[in-house]
Amino acid sequence: MADLSSSATILNVNDDEATRYLSSRTLRMVGYRVLEAATGEEALRLAMQERPDVVVLDVKLPDISGYEVCQRLRAQPETASIAVMHTSATFVTTDKKVRGLEGGADAYLTEPFESEELIATVRSLLRMRRAEQELRRRAEHLTEADRRKDLFLAMLAHELRNPLAAITTAVGILDRRGQMDTKDGRMVAIVQRQTNHLARLVDDLLDVSRLTRGKVELRKTRLDLRGVLEQVLTVFRPQAESRNLKLESSLPTVPLWMEADTTRLVQVFTNLLDNATKYTDAGGSIQVKAERSVEDGRMGARVRVKDTGIGIRPEVLLSVFELFSQADESLERSRGGLGIGLTLVHNLVEMHEGRVEAHSDGPGRGSEFVVWLPLLPVASDSEQEVVLPALVKRRRHILVVEDNEDARQALQDLLETWGHRVEVAADGLRGLELAVQRSPEVALVDIGLPGLDGYRVAEELRAKMGQGIRLVALTGYGGSEDHSRAREAGFDLHLVKPVHPDALSRLLSEL
**pLDDT of 9-64, one tens digit each?**
999 999 999 999 999 999 999 899 999 999 999 999 999 999 999 999 999 999 99
DSSP state of 418: T
Give the model's pLDDT for residue 154: 67
**Tell me: the pLDDT tens digits for 374-391?**
999 865 444 445 444 444
pLDDT score at 6: 56
In percent, the amount of the chain with pLDDT more than 90 equals 39
Confidence category of residue 300, pLDDT binned at 50, 70, 90: very high
Domains of the chain: 9-113 (3.40.50.2300), 147-216+390-511 (3.40.50.2300), 220-374 (3.30.565.10)
* pLDDT (tens digit per residue) in 245-275: 999 999 988 889 999 988 889 889 988 998 8
> What pTM value is reported for the model?
0.48
Contact 39, 63 (CB under 8 A): yes
Within 13 Å and on the Cβ side, how many CA atoms surround 143?
6
Contact in structure between 89 and 125 (CB atoms under 8 Å): no
The length of the chain is 511
Give the residue-averaged pLDDT of 154-166. 75
**Residue 415: count of CB within 10 angstroms of its CB:** 25
**pLDDT value, residue 334:** 44
Classify burial at 170, counting beta carbons within 10 Å of its beta carbon; exposed 0-12, middle 13-18, buried 19 or more. Answer: buried
pLDDT tens digits, one per residue of 89-115: 888 788 888 998 988 899 999 888 899
Average per-residue pLDDT for the chain: 83
**According to the model, what pLDDT value does residue 380 have?**
47
C-beta of residue 301 within 8 angstroms of C-beta of residue 266? no
Beta bridge partners of 301: 292, 373
How far is the CA of 443 from the CAs of 62, 412, 471, in angstroms?
74, 12, 5
- Of the two residues 469 and 4, the one the predictor is more confident about is 469
In sequence order, the β-bridge partners of residue 421 are 397
pLDDT above 50: residue 330: no
What average pLDDT does the segment 174-186 reach?
71
Q: State percent of the chain over pLDDT 70.
A: 86
